[in-house]
Amino acid sequence: MHKLIVSGGRPLEGEVTVSGSKNAALPILAAAIMLPGRSVIRNIPNLSDVTTIVRVLRALGLRAEYSQSSPNTVNVWNFQVRHVAPYELVTKMRASFFVIGPILAVKGLAKIPLPGGCAIGSRPVDIHIKGLTALGADVELEHGFVIAKTKKLRGGKVYLDFPSVGATETVMMAAALAEGDSIIENAAREPEILDLANFLNRAGAKIEGAGTEVIKVSGVNTLMPVDYKIIPDRIEAGTLLVAGAITGGKVLVKGAELGHMEATLVKLKECGAEIECGPDGILVTARRGINAVDIKTLPYPGFPTDMQPQFASLLSLANGTSVITETVFENRFMHVNELKRMGANIRLEGQSAIITGVPKLSGAPVRVSDLRAGAALILAGLAAEGETIIEDRDHHIRRGYDKITSKLTGLGAEIKDHQ
């Protein structure tokens, strides 16, 4: 079992560099299925979720290897693709389902197990399936597998019932090799969607409007290999900024992309943190107390659900009462009971957490239920009095945070990492 022991109460000071984006790396590696030959993908974070998608690619017949000569780089050689994705990998991580669009586009047949992932709601894949159907695929569910077939994908008009990140990516990838033009309406606008579109366009796809709610894809016959560097991880950057804020410290997050983080930065400022953005990155300084603020999670450019648990920890120490409303996932408050064990005063009412700030949190043994809940508990532990023992039985934290222990200890935190 992975266990972190955090001794709290030290203001974090110094500089830390953000890693590449997990949520861009995963679909981009999946999209490599559509690129013949050898592609090079850079700024890949060192995470277990990335290892999982690399293993999925290998199981599908691609060669995918971390470069020996350049760090954080994965080389993908693509000669032949199999159409069945392995159950044990897809059920381990929801994002491995995202191979369905590329496999279908290349093979005309894809058999993918229904996905697993973080325990933050039922997370169906109906919008992905509806989108592929609109591009001419026949999709059936059989024995726990989604089986999608088509003679040739053809362009179509796809309206997404919800701006799902994964479904937008699935449809965009499939449409890139379809015959004719596709329009995706009510598309997700996350920066990772734009990064995937930039990657595909570099490979010869014709995608316009990514990053807005209407994406136009003109299908092409083939793509070509590319050398591509993915964007920085805005959620990791946000988490590190909250680490500075919650400990009353001063932290420069180098390489963070200001333009991707507006909502997080606005809320940090409302909380009373000073934010300065320069060419190197984003500096947070938190010398005064934390103000209570209300937050509602929304699809981008709204406040990211992936930062909600971290702000729950921060607001647990605010002066006054805050309300956090979660609108993206139906069950994303599993960190709340653990924060309460540390002395937080939080009441759940439907999809809202009502947080009345307390003057201090106290270290306690706590358990990690999902990736961002794990981040929230580390942050609470950094600010708490005494020792917080974070049990991460399923290794959630490693799914999304590259070298989190050394990054935080480099800023003066005291954390012991027990594998």
Length of the chain counted residue by residue: 419
Cα angle vertex 162, ends 324, 50, to 5°?
Answer: 80
CA 76 to CA 92: how far, in whole Å?
Answer: 22
* Of 395, 390, 337, 345, residue with least CA distance to 363: 390
Q: Is the peptide bond before 115 cis (omega within 30 degrees of 0)?
A: no
Residues in contact with ligand UD1, counted by CB under 6 A, come to a total of: 22
329 binds ligand UD1 (CB under 6 A): yes
Q: Which is nearer to ligand UD1, 318 or 334 (CB)?
A: 334
128 binds ligand UD1 (CB under 6 A): yes
Minimum distance, C-beta of residue 192 to ligand UD1, in the bound complex (Å): 6
> For the window 306-325, what string marks contact with ligand UD1 as x by the rule CB under 6 A?
x-------------------
Residues within window 76-95 making contact with ligand UD1, judged by CB under 6 A: 94-95
Residues within window 349-368 making contact with ligand UD1, judged by CB under 6 A: none
* Of 192, 213, 206, residue with least CA distance to 98: 192
Q: Which is nearer to ligand UD1, 197 or 328 (CB)?
A: 328
Residues within window 187-206 making contact with ligand UD1, judged by CB under 6 A: 188, 192
* Of 13, 30, 34, 8, residue with least CA distance to 230: 30
CA 411 to CA 136: how far, in whole Å?
Answer: 52
Question: Residue 118 catalytic?
Answer: yes
CA 180 to CA 269: how far, in whole Å?
Answer: 46
**139, 167, 265, 397: which one binds ligand UD1 (CB under 6 A):** 167
Residues within window 278-307 making contact with ligand UD1, judged by CB under 6 A: 305-306
Tell me the one-letter amino acid at 78: N
Burial of residue 210 (number of CB atoms within 10 Å: 0-12, 13-18, 19+): buried
123 binds ligand UD1 (CB under 6 A): yes
Q: Which is nearer to ligand UD1, 166 or 343 (CB)?
A: 166
Residue 306: CA atoms inside 13 Å, Cβ hemisphere, count? Answer: 21
162 binds ligand UD1 (CB under 6 A): yes
Tell me the one-letter amino acid at 149: K
How would you classify the pairing of strands 250-254 and 13-17? parallel
**Token digits for 244?**
């500075």
Residue 22 among known ligand-binding residues: yes
165 binds ligand UD1 (CB under 6 A): yes
Minimum distance, C-beta of residue 118 to ligand UD1, in the bound complex (Å): 8
Tell me the one-letter amino acid at 255: G
Q: Which is nearer to ligand UD1, 94 or 407 (CB)?
A: 94
**187, 328, 334, 355: which one binds ligand UD1 (CB under 6 A):** 328
- Dihedral of the CA atoms 287, 237, 317, 312 (nearest 10)? 160
Residues within window 18-37 making contact with ligand UD1, judged by CB under 6 A: 23, 26
DSSP 363: -
103 binds ligand UD1 (CB under 6 A): no
Element (H, E) at 324: strand 321-325
Tell me the one-letter amino acid at 213: E
125 binds ligand UD1 (CB under 6 A): yes
- Catalytic option among 34, 118, 256, 344: 118
DSSP 115: P
Residue 181 among known ligand-binding residues: no
Query: Which residue is listed with tokens 């994964």?
Result: 166
Minimum distance, C-beta of residue 143 to ligand UD1, in the bound complex (Å): 20
124 binds ligand UD1 (CB under 6 A): yes
Q: Which is nearer to ligand UD1, 107 or 128 (CB)?
A: 128
127 binds ligand UD1 (CB under 6 A): yes
Element (H, E) at 266: helix 262-270
Residue 42 among known ligand-binding residues: no
| Contact between 228 and 40 (Cβ < 8 Å) | yes
Residue 23 among known ligand-binding residues: yes
Residues within window 218-257 making contact with ligand UD1, judged by CB under 6 A: none
Minimum distance, C-beta of residue 126 to ligand UD1, in the bound complex (Å): 5
Q: Which is nearer to ligand UD1, 236 or 392 (CB)?
A: 236
| Catalytic residue annotation | 118
Binding-site residues: 22-23, 94, 306, 328
Residues contributing to the site for ligand UD1 (CB under 6 A) = 23, 26, 94-95, 121, 123-128, 162, 164-167, 188, 192, 305-306, 328-329
